[in-house]
Structure 1
Amino acid sequence: MSDDIITPPDDGRRGGIAPIAIEDELKKSYLDYAMSVIVSRALPDVRDGLKPVHRRILFSMSEQGHTPDRSYVKSARVVGDVMGKYHPHGDLAIYDTLVRMAQPFSMGLLLIDGQGNFGSVDNDPPAAMRYTECRLTKAAMSILADLDKETVDFRENYDGSEQEPVVLPSRIPNLLVNGGGGIAVGMATNIPPHNLGEVIDACLAYIDNPEIGLDDLLDFVPGPDFPTGGEIIGRTGARNALMTGRGSVIMRGKAAIEDIRKDREAIIITAIPFQVNKAGLVERIAELVREKRIEGIGDLRDESDRQGMRVVVELKRDASADVVLNQLYRFTPLQSSFGVNMLALNRGRPQQMGLREMIVAFIDFREEVVGRRVKFELSKARDRGHVLVGLAVAVANIDEFIHIIRSSKDPAEARERIVAKAWPAGDMMPLVELIADPRTVLEGETIRLTEEQARAILALTLSRLTGLGRDEIFGEARELAGTIQGHLTLLSSRDNIMGVVRQELVEVRAAFAVPRRTEIVDGDADVEDEDLIAREEMVITVTHGGYVKRTPLVTYRTQHRGGKGRSGMSTKDEDAVTRVFSASTHAPVLFFSSGGKVYKLKVWRLPVGTPTSRGKAFINLLPIEPGETITSILPLPEDEATWDQFDVMFSTRSGGVRRNKLSDFVQINRNGKIAMKLDEGDSIIGVGLCNAAQND
């Protein structure tokens, strides 16, 4: 026996294992995973606007009979059925999806009718699924309509034990109406909800004129319509998003300024932007007030109840309501942006679509669904007509049939003899022509019956063999003939099919359309506070004790001879007015402290007071250091472009002087800026403007 080892030829394999490059395997595996997430989990389908989990929930509830005319069932029952049959993922993921379809602040058109705690706009979590109950809404039934008429394809579920629809035959353009969001691998979608009536009007316009342009469609759908209401600022963002499928929409809550009591105003918030947490918004406002980033708010409370939303932002007496509201828009989620990315599956492929592409895809799908439904109903009508022809032949030749049945040893033999015999057509010809079934075999004046007809004849009851039964058969056949002819007429022309699609869309609009909830307003989303302040001449009064106020110049009206004058300010006994000057509300003012720092405020930010009021202390307006006082006040020209023409002259208690360019004080932070470094014990006693050209 040889000790030689037989070595197989080196063909690149070792023990049946072929070596491959790890880069190739990673690329292939990752692409397979990515496509699985994109197609089977994360992105909605443009046809029914649903992801697989939404579709499976609605289909399962329909299969279990949880329809609007039935009583509510526990959500846990629905979740269990969906998870066991169609969606082998976590129960919490299924329940969260079900909950969202029942939240009126999340969906433009509710698909689940929920009973119990399904969460709130304050981001409160829903009750556990064992407590809540649910059933389908009428809108969901429109999405599921005709599912049993072979209108869509079915596929096997995850273990091959059940069949589930690939897509639902939705009569509602659900993707545009309810929107959708999802994060896949390498791509994401974020589609806002739109108004159902507007979207259907656009669909009808496209059906009436397939060549309609995008601009004309945008006249019907000007932008999103969020279930929480609010406002959309500007039309350009929404328009661009609908044109290209990508863009940004500025959302803003609804707020109004109301007088709540004498000399007190409040901002009343009655709507917030879509997907904004109301409790988080209130907390954010309170946080900004504590940080003094928003000033002028005296009280904040949430008075929302079952009748609607109401958040009250009570203002201080001297606060400008317009300015505070503008700061709320700027610093809080009361104004937010919605990033639109209209990516969806179109026939199984992810595609970026605008308004027109989505409408075209939906209408093409509806045309296919209606066509398949008509063909299914035609097939069923012809099946019934085929049976009716056989029954009519049996009733017309009843004696012969009875003889064959009685002389046959079993039903199988009787069926064979019935099929083998040519039966006289007689007065059946008009009925045969009415049904127009291609399976009917005519041989001259005789008819050959099929196996199906023979089975139906053998299943006849004795009561159907009477003359009255014959009249019923002929009557049903005539009605059926009309139905068949109607189906054939629909299938004979695409325009007829599109007429049915159009009519069903009109019915959906009549059943579910609601007025637009989100108002689209023209304007700028980023408004400076100063733009909200009317330009008005003010008289600014400053006291030795550190109090300041502004009073409208018109308050000091002209007095005629004999007038008693008017008090300009009420002060303490040890206090006195040290400075009075006039300036526009938009004019900047520099405030120099004894420690050498400078602060800048516009006149409109100074407290408003009556001629007799004392005003507000500088320490409450400016972040001055302890022990420091405001020693000099310098009103400046409103136009900063002219500041290069001036210099600032400083004089100190020790006799020092210095000159700076006025343009050095253009940028001053809220915490101030060092204007002049002083020796210990020294302080600024005077500041003035001089012409820069004269001092060169």
Structure 2
Amino acid sequence: MAFSVPETQKEQMSPADRTLPADIVERIEDVDVSAEMQGSYLEYAYSVIYARALPDARDGLKPVQRRILYMMSEMGLRPDRGHVKSARVTGEVMGKLHPHGDGAIYDALVRMAQDFTLRVPLIDGHGNFGSLDDGPAAARYTEARLAPVSLEMTADIDEDTVDFEPNYDSSQQEPAVLPSAIPNLLVNGASGIAVGMATNMAPHNLIEVVGAAKHLLENPDASLDDLMAYVPGPDLPGGGTIVGLAGIREAYETGRGSFRTRAKVRVEPITARKNGLTITELPYLVGPEKVIEKIKDGVNSKKLQGISDVTDLSDRQHGLRLVIGIKTGFNPEAVLEQLYKFTPLEDGFSINNVALVDGGPQTLGLRDLLRVYLDHRIEVVTRRSRFRLARRQERLHLVEGLLIAILDIDEVIQVIRTSEDSAEASGRLQSVFDLSQLQAEYILELRLRRLTKFSRIELETERDQLQAEIAELEAILASPARIRAVVADELDDVAERFGTPRRTLLTEAKASIASTGSKKATFTGPALEIADSPAIVYLSTTGRTVRVDLPEGAAAPAVAPRRSKHDAVLSSLVTTTRAEIGAVTNRGRLIRFSPVDLPVVPLNSIHLAAGARIAEYLGGLGKGERVLGIVSLAADAAPIALGTAQGVVKRVVPGNWPNRPDFEIIGLKAGDEVVGVAHAADDRELVFTASDAQLLHFSAAAVRPQGAAAGGMAGINLGKNAKVIGFFVVDPAAENVVVTVSVPLETLPGTDPGRGKVSAFGEFPGKGRATGGVRAHAFLKGEGMLSLAWVGPQPARAVASDGAARQLPETLAKRDGSGTPLDSVVTSVGTAVGAEAAVVAATAGAAELREESDPEALF
């Protein structure tokens, strides 16, 4: 705003200012400082919020991350090509798209390459990209290229799938958002500090997020509980254990919440007489050096007791491995509780799901995050389909013109030869052959070598293919359901190619005292220890395990009439909270573990669905290895009986176990595996069920106990091509039943429910060991094998692969009957909670527990 300078002000000017041109002097104006500061600060805040710190809810990227991926894609840095210097990438991004410091660009590139920061890294880095404790090397020393998953982030970007906008100097165009075929924001999380707001989002498992997205795509009114059935909680890159799920649900509902994470720690012998704590996974973004430093500080300040040394045995081959030595006479579990309180072995994570939606920051719950992403993918697929349809229609138009020209090529040549110039030739071709201008121009550019019979066949084939593709694209664009199906199929594809199993264990167990009270308080010793009280450990047929603590004088859990998910009991054991027990796998391996960190459920309401997955709780299971049962390791426990697929039986005398965290409990032959395990005193019956419907049972006393290294003895004489599908230990005095399910031979597993039968176990006569047994099921035409067989106390509980309850025939049938058709597929059968009392009580060593409380209270 121009104005005249008052004479009084001119008098105050210096002689040099008085000589300035009048137009310059007249541009001086008075401005209110507070208003100027307010306006400038708002502009700065706007820039930070929208152009730096917050991710877009659609592709989950901040502008600098999006520009890095787009520029690397433009540079051709694909996964199948060599790495280039990170400094080159940083320079290209800074010079063309991101007019900020190279340090910020390189930091963003490094973060996208760190597998301990992102659940699915987007950059394939070569060189020192840092660790949890150290920063990366300089950009001139490292190299980078796109990770395979990043190709899905930028896929189809050249097919008008997203909008482009000018860069900072309008010399180039950059995408406002990437197509993002993976739900990147939920999978990799985000963190950033803007002005007046911040975001902190946890990483998740790609397979689980895709499952929830597909469910919401098919069921737009799906509830939060429905979505959490697919996404139960975050899946952190470094694994660990999330303790307590209430805060996670709050975050999924409101966008804000918190949870606590623990390191994965197990107690194992360091030497023959010394135990230690082995840490193989740490909380999110906690480094081993930080943990070691805190432990040393705690020992020096006398806050931590019972620790003799800390050794970092981490390497590239075995990954993280911290070993904490425990002094003689100290309880490792109590020391671990100290570590949870005073060190980062237990840490908190605050969720604040703030992201940009339609250009503005919003706090989003799980359902909102999925909905924004799905809307984006639906728009991408729609725009891509329109683009492809237009391109194919244009090509079909030209192909049809070429076919007309080839059919009348002599006349076409005559028209062209008799024309004065190309413009006249084009006009005459349009009028003579009823062609468009595009077709005529294309024909004029036709090369003579295309005038062959083979070229005509090629063009007709291309025309037919284009017509089919056009029809398909028009059908997709005309149907919102087809578009959603395309989105779902593409999500399935990325989940299959890039998805990995869950790394982080979720448990409802209570957090340690670290989450309540001050960390400055002094550890009081025994007060931190978990009481070693009587408890029952349950393992469901679907692999979930819980602990039920038994107060003094507690009564046995009753057989609940309710049916809920995962309520079929595979194995149960009376033990103590801090006792060491064993899990036996199908590979014949016994893995030691303690139930101290298992999810605890109340005695009067036992829900196995609340349990932890035993494979995740134990860790270290091989491919195809599964847990078949839990056993006591006490020297006074009853012998452990095992049956194998090749019909071998063995009883192992407890005690004198190898001093290792896991060891072989049976010597298996090549191709053999364990199919069942349980404690078996001499008064129990051992039961084999074979795939050819033969059932054999004999007294456990007929099997002489052996040591852990022995290979067992003959249990059942199998028929040709038959194998054992079930091995059980039952109390002959109890009311036991036999459940069998047969399926047609030519059906795929899990597709035909088949025919099921429930018979009284008393109808099956006992035979001697190493005999063939008796028939347990009559096959109908087309049948020839049992898909499932189970023997145990009533009532039998049947479940599907997802743990849902399934119905069995209610009436007892003859032992050699053919059964009745089932309503749905049954994948496993077990006992009901409380019905296994006779089997559990058979475990010797439980006597001492019963004597400590009520002699007749437990069972």
Distance 2:85 2:451 in 1: 50
Q: Is the 8 A contact 2:334 2:528 kept in 1?
A: no
Q: Secondary structure at the match of 2:199?
A: strand
Deviation of the 1:391 alpha carbon: 1.1
- Please show how residues 163-202 of structure 1 align to structure 2 within 5 Å: 163-202=173-212
- For residues 532-575 of structure 1, what are the alpha-carbon distances to aligned partners after superposition, in whole Å with 9 as ceiling and x for unaligned? 25479xxxxxxxxxxxxxxxxxxxxxxxxxxxxxxxxxxxxxxx
2:819 aligned partner: none
Q: Which moved more, 1:186-195 or 1:524-533?
A: 524-533
Tell me which of 442, 451, 466 is aligned to 1:456.
442
Instruction: Name the residue aligned to 2:122.
Output: 111
Q: Following superposition of structure 1 onto structure 2, how do residues 225-304 of structure 1 map, counting pairs within 5 Å? A: 225-304=235-314
Structure 2 equivalent of residue 664 of structure 1? none
CA distance in 2 between counterparts of 1:333 and 1:105 reads: 16
If you compute each CA radius of gyration, which structure gives the higher value, 1 or 2? Answer: 1
SS of residue matched to 1:220: coil
Aligned 8 A contact 2:337 2:528 in 1: no
Q: Which amino acid counterpart does residue 472 of structure 1 have in structure 2?
A: E
What residue number does 1:667 align with? Answer: none
Higher mean displacement: 375-384 or 29-38: 29-38
CA distance in structure 2 between the partners assigned to 1:520 and 1:135 by the alignment: 34
1:180 positional shift: 0.4
Alignment of 1:671-686 (within 5 A): none
Separation in 1, partners of 2:500, 2:227: 19
The DSSP-based 3-state class of the residue aligned with 1:93 is helix
* Superposed displacement of residue 26, structure 1: 2.9
The amino acid that maps onto 1:174 is: N
Task: In structure 1, give the amino acid aligned to 2:437.
Answer: E
SS in 2 for 1:259: strand
Counterpart CA distance in 1 for 2:115 and 2:454 is 56
Deviation of 1:318 after TM superposition, in Å, equals 2.0
| 1:175-204 CA distance string (max 9 Å, x none) | 000000001111000001011111100001
**Structure 1 residue 264: Cα displacement:** 2.0
C-alpha contact 2:211 2:230 (8 A) present in aligned 1: yes
Shifted more, 385-394 versus 324-333: the winner is 385-394
Asked if the contact 2:261/2:346 (under 8 Å) is kept, the reply is yes
Residue 151 of structure 2 corresponds to: 141
**Deviations 1:626-685 (Å, cap 9, x if unpaired)?**
xxxxxxxxxxxxxxxxxxxxxxxxxxxxxxxxxxxxxxxxxxxxxxxxxxxxxxxxxxxx
**Higher share in helix:** 1
* CA distance in structure 1 between the aligned counterparts of 2:507 and 2:408, rounded to whole angstroms: 78
Higher relative contact order (CA 8 A, sep 6+): 1
Partner secondary structure for residue 54 of structure 1: helix
Q: Which moved more, 1:16-25 or 1:304-313?
A: 16-25
In structure 2, the gaps of 5 or more residues are 8-24, 514-523, 534-859
TM-score, length-scaled by structure 2: 0.57
Question: Given the alignment of the two structures, is residue 320 of structure 1 paired with residue 331 of structure 2, yes or no?
Answer: yes
Match of 1:518 among 500, 504, 508: 504
Of 453, 466, 474, which residue of structure 2 is paired with 1:480? 466
Using the TM superposition, give the Cα deviation of residue 474 of structure 1 relative to its aligned residue in structure 2, in angstroms. Answer: 2.0
Judge which range, 487-496 or 520-529, deviates more. 520-529
CA change 1:533–1:233 in 2 (3 A) is closer
Which runs of structure 2 are paired with 1:80-99 in the superposition (5 Å)?
80-99=91-110
- Amino acid in structure 1 at the alignment position of 2:467: A
2:402 alignment counterpart: 391
Structure 2 CA distance, aligned partners of 1:117 and 1:290? 34
Is the Cα–Cα contact under 8 Å of residues 338 and 528 in structure 2 kept in the other structure?
no
Secondary structure (helix, strand or coil) at the match of 1:138 reads: coil
Q: Which amino acid aligns with 2:102?
A: D
Q: Compute the displacement of 1:17 (Å).
A: 6.5
- Paired residue secondary structure (1:47): coil
Is 1:343 aligned to 2:354, yes or no?
Answer: yes
Residue type at the aligned position of 1:338 = F
Q: CA deviation at 1:402?
A: 1.2
Segments of 4+ moved more than 4 angstroms: 14-21
**Paired residue secondary structure (1:126):** coil
Equivalent in the alignment of 1:590: none
CA distances 1:575-602 after superposition (whole Å, capped 9, x unpaired)? xxxxxxxxxxxxxxxxxxxxxxxxxxxx
* Equivalent in 125, 145, 162 of residue 172 of structure 2: 162
Residues 317, 45 of structure 1: alpha-carbon distance in 2 compared, 3 angstrom cutoff: same
State the SS of the aligned residue for 2:324.
strand
Partner of 2:223: 213
What is the rounded CA distance, in whole Å, between the counterparts of 2:217 and 2:60 in structure 1? 20
From the superposition, tell whether residues 482 and 24 of structure 1 become closer, same or farther in structure 2 (CA, over 3 Å).
same
Amino acid at match of 1:343: V
1:530 corresponds to which residue? 527
Query: Which deviates more from structure 2 when the two are superposed, residues 175-184 or residues 153-162?
Result: 153-162
* Alignment partner of 1:60 out of 58, 71, 74: 71
State the Cα distance separating 1:6 from its structure 2 match: 12
- Superposed CA RMSD in Å reads 1.9
The 2-side partners of 1:36 and 1:451 are apart by: 49
- 1:243: how far off? 1.4
Q: Which moved more, 1:79-88 or 1:468-477?
A: 468-477
Q: What is the CA-CA distance between 1:459 and the residue it aligns to?
A: 1.0
Residue 353 of structure 1, aligned match among 349, 364, 370: 364
Does residue 496 of the first structure (1) align with residue 507 of the second (2)?
no
What amino acid sits opposite 1:349 in the alignment? G
SS at match of 2:149: helix
Deviation of residue 407 (structure 1)?
A: 2.4
Unaligned runs of 5+ in 1: 8-13, 424-446, 537-696
CA contact (8 A) 2:312 2:322 kept: yes
Determine the structure 2 residue equivalent to 1:676.
none
Secondary structure at the counterpart of residue 113 of structure 2: coil
Shift of 1:80: 1.4
Q: Tell me which of 486, 495, 514 is aligned to 1:509.
A: 495
The residue number in structure 2 matching 1:631 is: none
For residues 128 and 91 of structure 1, the distance between their equivalents in structure 2, rounded to whole angstroms, comes to 11
1:249 aligns to what SS in structure 2? strand
Structure 2 residue corresponding to 1:42, chosen from 48, 53, 60:
53
Q: Distance in 2 between matches of 1:287 and 1:497?
A: 59
Structure 1 residues 210 and 6: alpha-carbon distance in aligned structure 2, compared to 1, 3 A threshold: closer
Task: Please give the alpha-carbon distance, in whole angstroms, between the structure 2 residues aligned to 1:401 and 1:478.
Answer: 24
Q: Deviations over 1:484-539 (max 9, x none)?
A: 11110001110010010010011111111111101011222134852525479xxx
**Match among 413, 421, 428 for residue 410 of structure 1:** 421
Residue 35 of structure 2: aligned partner: 24
| Percentage of identical aligned residues | 49
CA-CA distance at 1:263 after TM superposition: 3.6
**Could you say if the C-alpha distance between residues 322 and 65 of structure 1 is closer, same or farther in structure 2, counting changes exceeding 3 Å?**
same
SS in 2 for 1:101: helix
SS at 2:495's partner residue? helix
SS in 1 for 2:229: helix
Q: In 1, are the aligned partners of 2:227 and 2:367 still within 8 Å (CA)?
A: yes
